[in-house]
Amino acid sequence: MLKILCLFLALTPLHAVAQQLAITFDDLPAHGARPTSVSRLQIAQSILDTLKQQHMPPVYGFINGVRTEEAPETLDVLRAWRAAGQPLANHTWSHPDLNDTSSSQFIANIEANQPLLRTLMPAPSDDWHWLRYPYLNEGNTLEKHRKVRTWLKANDYRVAEVTMDFEDYAWNEPYARCVAKNDTVALQELHDTYLSTADEFITYYRAMSKAVYGRDVPLILLMHVGAFDAHMLPELLALYRSRGFTFVSLPQAAADPIYAEDSDIAYKNGDTLTEQLAFKRGIPRPHHEAKPFALLQAVCR
């Protein structure tokens, strides 16, 4: 029996092993347009309910604290996230683009977010020392890139890199417009294109991983706390499961050695870690269809 088992394992292709995926959400407590009938707290609670129902591992939410000054009621979103047992981390105070600001100003913006994070995640075991760069821009000059990275390391931060992204944010504004118009045909189109695009980028980022790293790697998905994201999350999770993914937390995925690598380039485009490294190494990207943002702007206008 043991020989048969060993033979089976030897003949089983590596791609049959479930690939890991960590889901993360940016722009808490408020992201993008929403239908007037849905509050920010209801959007977050819908996401949290789905995560609980689907027995998901801890899911990090990356916060911009300025939103709680602009709309104090959105602090309840962050409290609800913590009450559900979900962790929070740093997305800077006001979501600046590092390409358009100095490294010193950017670091100050990270620091401005820390008092709120300490209040929301006071226990030593609750690790909020992760930074997600706004727009995924890590510095368009080497001096800027390295200065921020040096500060992050000195202050015990890890970069919450992204290795899968399908521009989920692009559907949230059209969704609000289509709900307002009660355009059921367009809403179905949004539903279908959201899932088909997510599916296409599974193939794309798996191919990117193999081109850059020579293997499948645990992927870290960037999402946003938008109204349509909340609406679609159950079906999106089902899609990832159907494509062979198992879900892990951000720290579990980031334990793979690839996430210890700093791209260390002056790069103006807000791309994923894998795309940055492909650019640095001169590795061609696999083909994919046009990203959806521009295509969705006309929907329900």
pLDDT in tens, the chain (301 residues): 333 333 333 333 334 457 999 999 999 999 999 999 999 999 999 999 999 999 999 999 999 999 999 999 999 999 999 999 999 999 999 999 999 999 999 999 999 999 999 999 997 767 999 999 999 999 999 999 999 999 999 999 999 999 999 999 999 999 999 999 999 999 999 999 999 999 999 999 999 999 999 999 999 999 999 999 999 999 999 999 999 999 999 999 999 999 999 999 999 988 999 999 999 999 999 887 766 777 798 899 9
pTM here? 0.92
Strand, helix or coil at 89? strand
Rounded Cα gap, residues 173 and 178, in angstroms: 9
Instruction: List, in order of start, the domains of the chain with CATH numbers.
Output: 18-296 (3.20.20.370)
Q: How many helices (H) and strands (E) does the chain have?
A: 12, 7
Alpha helices in 61-183 (DSSP H): 66-70, 75-83, 103-120, 142-154, 172-181
